[in-house]
A and B are shown apart, each in its own frame.
Chain A
Amino acid sequence: MVEREVTVTNRAGLHTRPASMIVRRGSQFASDFYIQKDGYEINGKSIIGVMTLAAEQGATLTLLFEGPDEEEAADALEALFADGFGEA
């Protein structure tokens, strides 16, 4: 199990486009992928789930990975958040 703390940096927050980017990237790995926000946890490979987080700019999320490629998956998703999904 790998755990990473990330922050939503783009102004619009996790709206539909970033949410689908997260799901698409997460689904490329075999590992299970979960996201937590204030004790609420969803499956990171479910777009509806990611959207229910309704995470705003500045929100802190915990990413959890479990599986054979958990390290690679964690790095990939962390990079996606660090990049602000290519948005300002």
Chain B
Amino acid sequence: MPHHAAPFRKEALSVAELVTHLRTDVSVGLEVLTPEVDLQANQVTESYLHRPGLALAGFVELYTHQRVQILGNTECAYLRSLDATARRDAVQRVLAFPVPCFILTHGNKAPDGLAELMRESGVALLRTPEPTTEFMALVREFLQDQFALQQAVHGALVDVYGTGLLLMGKPGIGKSEVALDLVERGHRLVADDVVIATRREANLLMGSGTDLVQHFMEVRGLGLVDVRAMFGIRAIRFQKRIELVVNMHLWDADEEYTRLGMVQDMYELLGVSLPMVKIPITPGKNITVICEVVAMNHLLRQYGYDPAEVFADRLRERIQQKQGPLPQRAVEYFEHDFE
């Protein structure tokens, strides 16, 4: 097994970045009620959210203050039910902790004095018109992606018939050439050489290129090629789920290669198991076509058709029928139109 790069993840996200991303990428309305507070200063470090009802009511044991704090209808109604002094005490109790920010949901008006207290503590108060549960789901999904485990993988990621195919193998084996060949045949390049894999869910890996390289690739003997400039928008995409690994390596007589495809090799990446096909490189072998077939086979399997299983069933049936020692001709009678 080759050496594995260490996974990494984003440590923190400033509240300013959170606001910008939620507005532009998630299309959520968000207004800042404390414009005096420096949004760069406060950092979000966790993808979980917290509704601080109990903390406001006075129970601060196990208070997850490091999370983004959501003030929904319940929290707002509770604060409004208190008189001015009690409200002040309740808010100051939670502000005694280092909190990244507070977000009022459902367009709730800030209870009297809340914004002033936040401003004094240097904590941002934001407001969204979105209903609490929907908003929390959107923010959670966004933060989960931001803090997801990532890893740089040496390989090429190509969308082949809608399947995210990750080409791997030692430097110089010809990954870029195969990727280029696939692009030439109408498939779409996501990234070459450095693919950043991100674990979106327990079993879902997304792949993209790096912001610096995008769709440039190096082809030995040619130099740098910009696939987007050369082949246009139809030849590229920016993200794709990684679904299959094609591992290219030099032919090794001792290595056992898959012949029928009854047993699926797996490749582990960021804790996700991906089906892997090991392809020995030998003269005269068209790896591009093999990649296309690998992708189509994967699609067939996805839709419940496994060619190896189907053939094995057919063979089993034939054996049970005891039809005789020789295989039958596939055509019983040749009619006159000799093809």
Contact = CB atoms under 8 A, between A and B. Distances in A.
Interface of A: 1, 27, 32, 34, 36, 39-43, 45-49, 51-52, 54, 64, 66
A39 to B, nearest CB: 4
B124 interface: no
A39 B218 CA distance: 24
B172 A42 contact: no
A64 B217 CA distance: 24
Contacts of B152: 40-42, 49, 52
B8 interface: yes
25 contacts: A32-B170, A34-B5, A39-B6, A39-B8, A40-B8, A40-B152, A41-B5, A42-B5, A42-B152, A43-B154, A43-B171, A45-B172, A46-B154, A46-B194, A46-B218, A47-B193, A47-B218, A48-B216, A48-B217, A49-B154, A49-B193, A51-B213, A52-B194, A52-B213, A64-B3
Nearest to B212: A52
A51 B213 CA distance: 8
B194 A49 contact: yes
Contacts of B8: 39-40
Interface residues of B, number: 19
B171 A48 contact: no
B6 A46 contact: no
A46 B193 contact: yes
B154 A54 contact: no
B225 to A, nearest CB: 11
A6 B85 CA distance: 60
A45 B175 CA distance: 13
Most-contacted residue by chain A among B3, B8, B212, B217 (CB, 10 A): B3
A53 to B, nearest CB: 10
Nearest to B191: A48
B283 interface: no
Nearest to A26: B171
Given A47-B218, A49-B194, 19 more contacts: A27-B172, A32-B3, A40-B8, A40-B152, A41-B5, A42-B5, A42-B194, A43-B171, A45-B172, A46-B154, A46-B193, A46-B194, A48-B192, A48-B218, A49-B154, A51-B212, A51-B213, A52-B212, A64-B3
